[in-house]
Amino acid sequence: MENLQTLIQSSTPLLIDCFAVWCGPCKMVPPILKEVKEKLGDRIRIVKIDVDKNPQLSAQWQISSIPTLLLFKEGKLLWRQSGVVPAHQLVPLLQQHL
């Protein structure tokens, strides 16, 4: 697996799911991301990051609530949102950046 910095710098958009094992709403996100991946395929990469295991990233990205989704492309943060975003809202939003 490529390192995270390489994925963030890539021209392929990278959606990062910031979650924690103990977070209830976070458990709703994987099926949504599965649907997103099915619709968008190789045009997007999706990575999950456990905020408890990666406190430096949480601090760097100022993650104050989870789940938080971050969208990077070519090193730039294009979009972020905390909370659960339904797939029917997330797909068109992501398509704007593909």
Domains contained in the chain, CATH given: 4-95 (3.40.30.10)
Distance CA 43, CA 81 (A): 20
Would you call 23 a catalytic residue per the annotation?
A: yes
Q: Annotated catalytic residue: which of 14, 26, 29, 66?
A: 26
Would you call 26 a catalytic residue per the annotation?
A: yes
pLDDT digits (tens, 9 = 90+) for 43-58: 999 999 999 999 999 9
| pLDDT band for position 1 (cuts 50, 70, 90) | very low
Q: How far is CA 27 from CA 18, 30, 33, 35, 37, in A?
A: 11, 7, 11, 14, 17
Q: Annotated catalytic residue: which of 4, 7, 20, 23?
A: 23
pLDDT digits (tens, 9 = 90+) for 4-24: 999 999 999 999 999 999 999
Residue 32 has pLDDT above 70, yes or no: yes
Whole-structure pTM value: 0.95
